[in-house]
Chain A
Amino acid sequence: MKGYKEIIASYADVPGGIIEAYHAVQKELSYLPEEAIFEAAKVFNIPVSEAYGVATFYSMFSVKPRGKNVIRICESAPCHVAGAAEVVAALERELGICMGESTPDGLFALEFTECVGQCQATPVITINGKPYLNVSPAKVPKILAEYK
């Protein structure tokens, strides 16, 4: 596993590289630790308060430790209407955590997201970016099993 320092350094000369650097760090660590934000502020020569602003502005970044496999549930209107709430309940029940939390074993994190562009087959969830379409509460255990 590459350290956050090396990762961030490799984007130092990319214009607007901080966002790409954050993406890369998150891919390794699944969240942005404080130290990575300090490092980014240094490398991109901006105040820490600003580097933190960038890290919290985008919903795909997390500044809190979270599970390795990030499950996102679309909460935009079409998915909502199609029963996203029941899927949420099933995921929460299955994992024993609430939305916004991670499982104690560090395996899963539950988050909301906005429309991911798959509205033809709602409700939609994504796990580490991979979309699952037409999700129903019954399908949840099987989907999760792939990652256990």
Chain B
Amino acid sequence: MVNLTIDGIKVSVPEGSTILQAAKEVGIKIPTLCYHPDQSVKANCRVCVCEVEGNRLLQAACSTPVTEGMVVKTRTPKVIEARRTILELILSNHPQDCLNCPRNGNCELQTLAEEYFIRDIPFEHKVRGLAKDTSTPAIVRDPDKCILCRRCIEACSVTQSVYALGLEDRGHEAMVVPTMGKSLMDSPCAMCGQCIHACPVGAITENEQLDELLAAIADPDKIVVTQIAPAVRLAIAEEVGMKPGEMPMDVFVAGLRQVGFDYVLHTNFTADLTIIEEGNELLKRLNEGGVLPMFTSCSPGWINFCETYYPDLLDHLSTCKSPQQMFGALVKTYWAEKMGIDPAKIYSVSIMPCTAKKYEATRPEMQDSGYRDVDLVLTTREIGRLFRMSGIDFTKLEGAPFDSWMGKYTGAGVIFGATGGVMEAALRTVYEVVTKEELKDVNFTAVRGMEGIKEAEVDLKGTVVKVAVAHGLSNARKLMDQVREGKSPYHFIEIMACPGGCIGGGGQPITKSNAQRQVRIDAIYAEDESCEIRKSHENSEVKILYDEFLHEPLGHKSHELLHTHYHPKNKKYL
């Protein structure tokens, strides 16, 4: 342990700690911009400077290791003055356009400008006037707002191993650009949106489409039907000032009705359906010597990544569409028929924790219902905005049930939202289908949690199935390279593009650390525990769907509506 004094307070911290970490121990907050708790130290913004006795120059707290007997002062006039100048310099090259900015109210730079009492900036205001990048349907980059902290580059390169972002030029000319200075669409970007969470400011956001929803709600000829993904409920609470998981499902549904959705249904329903289709696909591959290991296919960021970097391994991907797209294909066929509604009038909106889903819905192959299966994808953040705009007080709102036929779900559908959840849900079903025995303990805890790659073995009465789970694309890459080398010991692999799974998706409330992801994961398993039915094949509405419409898993109708195929992306700028 190392002993030091910070602002007169004595503290002992492990060797190798930084001043920033030591200060946190004793409850002293030092401002940061380029620092990110889950990333390497960058020390390029200098806003965290402090006085260290014996040093003439101010030291960056995020990168200076503590030493025995060190005396640190974090709030002297000299320190405050320096930090204010640093902020003023950053702001002198910044649009300062908070009122029109998606991060208004949730921006690290804005917060510091407020805390440091920035008023009249003495430097000339010079903005570069760089164009926005709107080349993808999912992610928008606004490079003028970039403060060059490089957190997005690390998210994209280290966490995701996509390498879509890098630096161009240096000094005053430096900027963050997609590969080779091209558009994001030309880069290998998987549209996972992890760079959005990494960005301290509004330089990267989702493609905001709330206006399209409002237009559809206003249109009397449109019947607006929505599906909610499992990870959304856990996090939507954070958008309206509650704790993760605190928004009861029925109150969330009531809120959606208040803002004008005509029917509220649940993606969990098709999550359960995915398990039936995907479980049967796995068994078929196991029994008939099909391509193994089989990869899950519900994470569209992962699909983009696989099509970009592993086009040779596409036949390992389950042909199952993601739950969003299964839902889209069914709502304008099965559901429309059951409800007696003209599918041409249905405007299908999905509420997702994900930015890549915005892209997925626009894929040309996703029109199997005869229409665009999903008309609009909104993120959790966008729905949060809609709720705040509508002024709903969720503490006073009475709950409401889901609508029929595609609203029922089980605990297995719920856990789709966390890393390991699809695997666990599949195992619950596959076990019972194969062994014809009831699964006594439905909890496969080995595949839960934030560890990057998890593995397990399940004995299906003699057949041992080896499974692995990866979240974050750099972890996926490790398992993929193993497959490419012919050394993968697994039969079935679940991959989620985002760290923590969908609860950490690119469309979720701005997520500043992995610790926050863990809190949402805990909330998901608590919801699973509280579900009466926790196995997908026991979902009564899914049973009705098979009886009346699909007839059998992997059958003719399923192939038509619920399965898809993949294409190598042949990106030039990898």
Contact = CB atoms under 8 A, between A and B. Distances in A.
Interface string B163-175: 1111111100000
Interface stretch (A3-11, A49-57, A82-90, A137-145): A49-57
A56 B181 contact: yes
A47 interface: yes
B310 to A, nearest CB: 16
B518 interface: no
A40 interface: no
A48 interface: yes
B163 A57 contact: no
A123 to B, nearest CB: 22
A48 B187 CA distance: 10
Given A34-B180, A37-B180, A48-B180, A53 B167 contact: yes
Interface residues of A, number: 11
Nearest to B178: A49
Contacts, number: 41
Interface residues of B, number: 17
Interface in B178-207: 178-181, 187
Given A47-B157, A47-B163, A52 B169 contact: no
Nearest to A114: B171
A49 B156 CA distance: 11
A50 B169 contact: no
Given A47-B157, A49-B157, A49-B163, A56 B179 contact: no
Given A53-B168, A56-B169, A48 B181 contact: no
B574 interface: yes
B549 interface: no
Contacts of A37: 180
Given A34-B180, A56-B181, A48 B163 contact: yes
B123 interface: no
A52 B187 CA distance: 12
Contacts of B177: 52
Most buried by B among A49, A50, A52, A63: A49
A50 B168 CA distance: 9
Contacts of A52: 166, 168, 177, 179-181
Contacts of B166: 47, 49-50, 52-53
24 contacts: A34-B180, A37-B180, A47-B163, A47-B574, A48-B163, A48-B180, A49-B157, A49-B164, A49-B166, A49-B179, A49-B180, A50-B166, A52-B166, A52-B168, A52-B177, A53-B166, A53-B167, A53-B168, A56-B167, A56-B168, A56-B181, A57-B167, A57-B169, A63-B181
List the 4 closest pairs (A to B, CB-CB), nearest first: A49-B166, A47-B163, A49-B179, A56-B168
Given A49-B164, A49-B178, 8 more contacts: A48-B573, A48-B574, A49-B187, A50-B166, A53-B167, A56-B169, A56-B170, A56-B181
